[in-house]
Homo-oligomer: A and B are copies of this chain.
Amino acid sequence: MDNKLLTYLAEHRDEHIEQLKNLIRIPSVSALSKHKDDMHACSQWMADSLTKAGLEKVEVMQTPGHPIIYGEWLHAEGKPTILVYGHYDVQPAEPLELWNSDPFEPETRGDKLYARGATDDKGQLFIHVKAVEAWLQTYGTLPVNIKFCIEGEEEITSPNLAPFIEQYQDKLSADIVLISDGPIIAEGQPSIEYGLRGMAGCEIKVQASNTDLHSGLFGGGVPNAIHALSDILSSFHNANGAVAIDGFYDGIAPFTEQEREASSKLPINEDQIRQGLGLSSLYGEEGYSYYERTTSRPTVEVTSVTGGFQGEGIKPIIPSKASAKIACRLVPPQVPSDILDKLEAHVIKVCPVGVTVTVDKLLRGNPYITPIDHPAIQAASEAYEYTYSKPALYTRGGGSIPIVEVFSRVLGAAVVLMGFGLPDENLHAPNEHFDLRNFDKGIVTTCKYWENIASLKA
């Protein structure tokens, strides 16, 4: 990469930021029906922007929900194809009174641009649009084939994206899916999230007698739904904090040597985390560090429980019903439906006599991992080091973005999560902002990434 591109970017910086502000000014809140017209306006704006950047066959594609925008540039014969995924929808801006400026009138203060969507995800998505434009304007061609798939429902759990990917898997086919929709680990310290946990969720309902009973008249004589539920919930973990469901850990590999080395470089201070949470001690599966437990080990967490009389004071009843909701986080090779089946079998096995129990299986999302030594990850690492002058760190995320696994599985592509946000940029919260120095670095890093990928075999 030569100075021509950097010069072009410097000369057009103000113009790019003005364009980004115009994108942000469209209040594309996917969750609120009053913004339906804004969603359409925003999808059209994005499509125009892709066309202006030099992408071809740009299309606003309808779904049962908000539209998805597609565009491509496929003239790098024999070179890999990168599919850029991002989203043009944003979270609601409320509570408005906590913002220091209008959430939909972006304001630059120092290096930071304040507005809803600045870092999540308009600012980060626009990096890729401007990277395409800069490269084409400078060289008249791209070093790789590029596709864009930009959805408008990420903030409402992407209900229509997975079917869209299935339906258009030929159109979307790519070697790499590139996503800039998150933070690097710290200011000036690039990092790559190479894995995400999956999710499985269910509700457990216990039914004892056909009505709540007087604890004086019936106490001691009949089953109590809360007792039964407590026994069930208490049976999920053994004394050393491990999950006690048969087969739960089947096939799970420990950290590779490479992962262990990568994680040792992460700035994690368990004592600081503990203090910040107001805990006397952290807790979890014996034999694993806090970082391993929260990223590379699967979990079963009870997220809510309810049963009996919920009013003030003690109403001395024997409750007939009790229920709990469970959220599991999964790691490869766990499969949500299999884990839910095992959890159900366990619940049925340990359920005390006299009550009936049902398990409603509600949530499923596959875990995902791209090995650190995958060429697409290593190319990203080198691109980061080029702009940030520091080697990238490698992290696994404990949370779940189910669509990542869908992209990987359906398209057979490696997913690369190349974030340019910072951890404290208030995404989903008032005073969201984006550091424009990372906007600048992001465009250069992306351009460099394409160059790196171009040198790989397609």
Distance to closest chain B CB from A343 (angstroms): 13
A325: chain B residues within 8 A (beta carbon): 308-309, 314
Q: Residue-by-residue, is A315-333 near B (CB-CB < 8 Å gives 1, otherwise 0)?
A: 1111100101111010000
Tell me if A141 is interfacial: C-beta within 8 Å of chain B.
no
A375: chain B residues within 8 A (beta carbon): none
Q: Which of the candidate stretches A58-66, A293-301, A449-457 sits at the interface with the other chain?
A: A293-301
27 contacts between A and B (CB under 8 A): A201-B316, A209-B279, A213-B277, A215-B301, A216-B397, A220-B284, A220-B299, A220-B398, A221-B283, A221-B284, A221-B293, A222-B282, A222-B283, A222-B284, A223-B281, A227-B234, A227-B237, A227-B302, A283-B352, A301-B316, A302-B319, A303-B308, A303-B318, A305-B308, A306-B307, A314-B327, A316-B327
Please report the C-alpha to C-alpha distance between residue A237 and residue B397 in the assembled complex, in whole angstroms.
Answer: 40
Once the chains bind, are A317 and B303 in contact (CB under 8 Å)? yes
Once the chains bind, are A283 and B354 in contact (CB under 8 Å)? yes
Tell me if A310 is interfacial: C-beta within 8 Å of chain B.
yes
Once the chains bind, are B220 and A226 in contact (CB under 8 Å)? no
Q: Assign chain A's interface to a size class.
A: 35 or more
Given known pairs A299-B220, A314-B203, A398-B218, the reply for A226 and B280 (CB within 8 Å) is no
Please report the C-alpha to C-alpha distance between residue A112 and residue B395 in the assembled complex, in whole angstroms.
Answer: 79
9 closest Cβ pairs, A-B complex: A216-B399, A304-B308, A210-B278, A230-B233, A234-B234, A316-B327, A220-B293, A223-B283, A221-B294
Tell me if A436 is interfacial: C-beta within 8 Å of chain B.
no
Q: How many identical subunits does the complex contain? A: 2
Given known pairs A230-B233, A307-B304, the reply for A220 and B297 (CB within 8 Å) is yes
Please report the C-alpha to C-alpha distance between residue A199 and residue B234 in the assembled complex, in whole angstroms.
Answer: 27
Chain A residues at the B interface, C-beta cutoff of 8 Å = 197, 199, 201, 203, 208-211, 213-224, 226-227, 229-231, 233-237, 273, 277-285, 290, 293-294, 297-299, 301-310, 313-319, 322, 324-327, 329, 352-354, 356, 362-363, 397-400
Please report the C-alpha to C-alpha distance between residue A234 and residue B290 in the assembled complex, in whole angstroms.
Answer: 27
Once the chains bind, are B301 and A224 in contact (CB under 8 Å)? yes
Other than the known A218-B398, A223-B282, A230-B302, what 5 A-B pairs have Cβ atoms closer than 8 Å?
A197-B219, A226-B303, A227-B237, A227-B301, A308-B325
Once the chains bind, are B281 and A303 in contact (CB under 8 Å)? no
A223: chain B residues within 8 A (beta carbon): 279, 281-283
Once the chains bind, are B216 and A329 in contact (CB under 8 Å)? yes
A231: chain B residues within 8 A (beta carbon): 234
Please report the C-alpha to C-alpha distance between residue A327 and residue B226 in the assembled complex, in whole angstroms.
Answer: 13
A400: chain B residues within 8 A (beta carbon): 216
Once the chains bind, are B303 and A309 in contact (CB under 8 Å)? yes
Once the chains bind, are A220 and B304 in contact (CB under 8 Å)? no
Once the chains bind, are B299 and A219 in contact (CB under 8 Å)? yes
A282: chain B residues within 8 A (beta carbon): 221-223, 354
Once the chains bind, are A315 and B294 in contact (CB under 8 Å)? no
Once the chains bind, are B329 and A226 in contact (CB under 8 Å)? no
Distance to closest chain B CB from A146 (angstroms): 31
Once the chains bind, are B319 and A216 in contact (CB under 8 Å)? no
Once the chains bind, are A354 and B280 in contact (CB under 8 Å)? yes
